[in-house]
Amino acid sequence: MKLPATDLHPLVQEYLHELHVLRQLSPHTLKAYGMDLGDLQNFALEDSIDLLKVSNGHVRRWAGRLHSKGKSSRSIARALSAWRGWYHWLTEKDARRDARAGKVTGNLVANPVDDVKAPKRLKSLPKALSVEQALSLVSQAVKEAEEKKDLESIRDAAIIDLLYSSGLRLSELLGIDVMQSKDRQQESAGWLDWDAAEVTVLGKGGKRRSVPVGAPAMQSLNIWREIRNSSSYAQQSNALFLSATGKRLSPRTVQARLRTLAMRAGLPTHVHPHMMRHSFASHVLQSSQDLRAVQEMLGHASISSTQIYTSLDFQHLAQAYDKAHPRAKAGKA
C-alpha cells in the first residue's frame, strides 16, 4: 500500500514544513525527503508498527527491504539520513515539551536510526583506454594534423598529445599560457617551459605542480605554437590553446572535438578529457609501479586517491592472465 503525499503523518508534514521555512531547503530536496519519509511510513504501516514506537531492529529490517528492492547504496544512505533527521527532530521536540511540562512525556527515548549504516558503496573504477587505444587516438590526431594542416587539427593534436603525456585535468589544460605572465594582476594559471619540456599548472585547492612533457607531445606543441603565433589572433590572448575566433578555448569545444576524433579513430567507447587522465595514470603505473610518482604527477593530495589506479592495473593483469595462461583457459572450459 503506497501512501499519497497528503497522507503523510502530521508530524512528518510538520517536519517538512520546518525544513522549508527554517532551513529553506530546495523543493527538489524537500520532495526527496518526503519520498524517503513516505517509505518509512509505508514500512511501518505494512508491519503494523506505530511510527513513534519504531525500534532499531525495525529500521535495520526496512533498510534491508530497500536493498532487496534494488535501491543503490547511495539511495539507502539518503533514506536513512532522512529517517535519522526526522527522529532527531522528534526527540528534540519531545525534550522541549517535557522541559515545559516538568516531566517525561515523550514517545522516543532514543533515535532508532542511530548506528544503522547503509551498505558500503562500491567505488566505480575510472574508465581508461588500453595502451593500444590511447596510442591509436593520438596517432589519429597527429595524422589528421599532418594531412589537413589547418589550425584546428594541429591544435587538437597538440591538446590530445599533452593530455595523454602529462595527465592534466581539462581545467588545468585550458589555463595554460604560452609563456608565464609577469603581471601580478594577470598571473598565469599555468605555462609551458619550452626548454625544460615541463608544464606547470594550477590544480585543485590552488596548488601548483610541474609535470614533464614527453618528446612526441613537445613536438606537437611546438608545431602548434608556430601556427598559433603566426595567426592574426596571436596578440589577442596569452592562452596557449585558442579557438577559431582567437579566444581561450572552452571546455565544451575540447570535449566535442575529442569525442568526434575518437569516433574517427574507431574507438568503441565515448572518450572524454578525463579519460585521457585516467589512461595516463594507469599506463604510467603499469610500467613504473611507482604510486608516489603518479600521485605527484596527478596532483592528488592523498595517496588514497591514486590507489584506485592499482585496481585498474590489477584488472589489466587479470585480463592478460585469462587470455594467456593455459590453466586459466582450462578452468573456464
| Active site members | 169, 204, 274, 277, 300, 309
Q: Exposed, middle or buried, 68 (CB in 10 Å: 0-12/13-18/19+)? A: exposed
Strand duo 190-193 + 176-177: pairing: parallel
Q: Exposed, middle or buried, 33 (CB in 10 Å: 0-12/13-18/19+)? A: buried
Helix (H) or strand (E) segment spanning residue 209: strand 208-212
Distance of CA 136 to the CA centre of its chain: 26
CB atoms near residue 172 (< 10 Å): 23
Q: What 3-state class would DSSP assign to 193?
A: strand
> Which of these, 295, 310, 278, 289, lies nearest to 207 by C-alpha position?
295
Q: At what angle do helices 308-324 and 291-298 cross, to 10 degrees?
A: 130
> Which of these, 52, 170, 66, lies nearest to 112 by C-alpha position?
52
Task: Determine the straight-line distance between the first and last CA of the chain, rounded to whole angstroms.
Answer: 48
CB atoms near residue 208 (< 10 Å): 11
**CA–CA separation, 288 and 270 (whole Å):** 27
**CA–CA separation, 104 and 145 (whole Å):** 79
Q: In 47-72, where does DSSP find H-type helix? A: 56-68
Distance of CA 189 to the CA centre of its chain: 22
